[in-house]
Amino acid sequence: MPSICFYFQVHQPCRLRHYTFFDIGQEHHYEDDEHNGEILNKVAEKCYLPANAVLLDLLNKYRGDFRIAFSLSGVALDQFEQFNPAVLDSFKRLADTGCVEFLNETYHHSLAFIFSAPEFREQVELHRQRIFKLFGQKATTFRNTELIYSDAIAREVEDLGYKTILAEGADRILGWRSPNSVYRPEGCRTLKLLLKNYRLSDDIAFRFSNREWSEFPLTAAKFARWVHQLDNAGDTINLFMDYETFGEHQWEETGIFDFLRLIPAHILADPHFQFLTPAQVAQKSKPAASLSVPEFMSWADVERDLTAWMGNDMQNDALRSVYDLESKVRARNRKDLFHTWRRLQTSDHFYYMCTKWFADGDVHKYFNPYSSPYDAYINYMNVLTDFAEQLES
């Protein structure tokens, strides 16, 4: 019996305020609270609150036959608590149904694994504790920031006690294999790997409102037919996407909420299909094979690698600079300095510095507070210079 595995990523970065060279040594508050609150509340009204209301109705209606999973970054959770507690309450109501799995990730949506294994482990533990405190779940499934994945990450995640990990079903890794099978990461003993079916996922996340698309309009009935045609193509069809797909990336006027309301009924019309969470998929399915991913991959851009964050000298200089401060932050051992340093690790800061403006240009401009990648770099480095001076003082 094939399963449908819906997983939604929820993240909003804490954007930096305009910080000039003349602010260094004078002003130590770095985040644009007003702008961050405006964006958070805008997305809450367009996406989080209405989408959660739709999902709560579906979860109550289908009573276990419809299940979903979320990963909520710690940075997003902090902003829900600060700017719109109603959003956090709505996620708690979803958790109360018993049909939602909450995943773990790095608390600060960072690239910590690439630069500091100890910092990676600490951020994962912070997130594990926060999810348990909020939703009462001890997560067994892990997803790294932006689905950044490799064999080395899988081995580390297994050592941390997780049973399941998510990754992108990139063609260059899979070759002839199917993303609809469960795999064993190379070098792991018990961890199971679930891969995103990016074609079907992106039909919803990116192509849904594209009138130039040959399959426009995408209805729930049509999508269910595509899914049902994969009856014998594997154990699970993993539909992974940003939660902001619903109402923000795809506006309400496109019919995206109607699609969401109708999709469970059309999928479940075929009794061979069921909805499961990532943990449930891993529990019921044996690995089809071992899969080796020696180099990092992600779900970002057409290349699905790390170039969205580490593709130019500005990005690499900024990343090296912030992680070079680790020993000094740890030596000071002050909670406020750890908090600031970790907020400065959020991957979005480096995403704004990306100079890949071809196929993925519109994606990189989304809620980008800077007029150019160079402006993003200068602003970030001004902030980092002031923070470094604080560590020395």
Distance CA(225)–CA(320), nearest Å, equals 48
How far, CA to CA in Å, does 6 sit from each of 23, 37, 171, 303? Answer: 45, 28, 21, 23
Residue 282's Cα: distance from chain center in Å? 20
CB 356 within 8 A of CB 307: yes
DSSP string, 47-87: IIHHHHHHHHHHHHHHTTSS-EEEEE-HHHHHHHHHH-HHH
Place of tokens 């994969």: 230
Distance CA(196)–CA(236), nearest Å, equals 10
Residue in 105, 146, 168, 248 annotated catalytic: 146
Task: Identify the burial level of 263 via C-beta atoms within 10 angstroms of its C-beta, where 0-12 means exposed, 13-18 middle and 19 or more buried.
Answer: buried
CB 144 within 8 A of CB 162: no
Render the burial of 154-187: b for 16+ CB within 10 Å, e for the rest. Answer: bbbbbeeebbbbbbbbbeebbeebbbbbbbbbbe
DSSP string, 342-374: HHTTBTHHHHTT----STTHHHHHTT---SSHH
Query: Is residue 146 flagged as an active site residue?
Result: yes
Active site residues: 146
